[in-house]
């Protein structure tokens, strides 16, 4: 399947870009190092599985694990450096919270997806397992859509408050 290679390319791209994002927003040397390592782990895994014939959901699990770890480091940093400005007025905070919800949900979905993909092929492309895989993909897309809506709401809310205070 031609699309499989594109899907398998998406997780290392996501991991590298989000690792770079966290590298720029994290302040301590240790946390920046963790951001680099998280991106590198995903790239190393991808390099060993570059020719995976099927959707590589374990790659997404690895990428999401690293990103969730970086999110917790960001939240730790934010809670240790409290300012007068509410967190809800910070676009980065909205973005990171949406990423947390998405990647925690994706972690569980893609781990399940891997299990059911193996069963699907072991059981001769069972229609029942195919239906489960379809529902997992739908749930994943719903989480992605809700995350985009929440982030859009957060950004609109921030800019609306800023325009009202001007």
Taking only the tens place, the pLDDT of each residue in 119-164 is: 998 888 889 999 999 999 999 999 999 999 999 999 998 888 877 7
**pLDDT, tens only, 14-49:** 999 999 999 999 999 999 999 999 999 999 999 999
Output the CA torsion 32→101→103→93 (10° steps): -20
Residue 69 has pLDDT above 90, yes or no: yes
Which residues touch 54 (CB under 8 Å, ≥6 apart)? 4, 117, 121
Contact call for residues 10 and 58 (beta carbons, < 8 A) = no
Confidence of residue 166 (pLDDT cuts 50, 70, 90): low
- Band of residue 112 on the pLDDT scale cut at 50, 70, 90: very high
Q: What is the pLDDT of residue 148?
A: 95
- Retrieve residue 29's tokens: 């040397």
């Amino acid at each position: 399947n031609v699309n499989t290679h594109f899907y398998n390319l998406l997780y290392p791209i996501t991991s590298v870009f989000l690792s770079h994002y966290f590298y720029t927003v994290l302040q301590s040397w240790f946390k920046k190092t963790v951001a680099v390592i998280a991106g590198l782990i995903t790239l190393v895994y991808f390099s060993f599985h570059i020719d995976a014939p099927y959707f590589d959901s374990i790659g997404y699990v690895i990428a999401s694990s690293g990103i969730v770890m970086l999110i917790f480091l960001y939240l730790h940093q934010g809670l240790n450096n409290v300012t007068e400005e509410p967190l809800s007025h910070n676009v980065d905070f909205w973005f990171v919270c949406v990423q947390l919800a998405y990647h925690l949900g994706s972690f569980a979905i893609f781990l399940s997806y891997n299990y059911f993909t193996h069963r699907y092929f072991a059981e001769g492309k069972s229609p029942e397992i195919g239906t489960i895989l379809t529902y997992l993909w739908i749930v994943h897309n719903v989480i992605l859509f809700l995350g985009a809506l929440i982030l859009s709401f957060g950004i609109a809310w921030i800019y609306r408050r800023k325009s009202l205070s001007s």
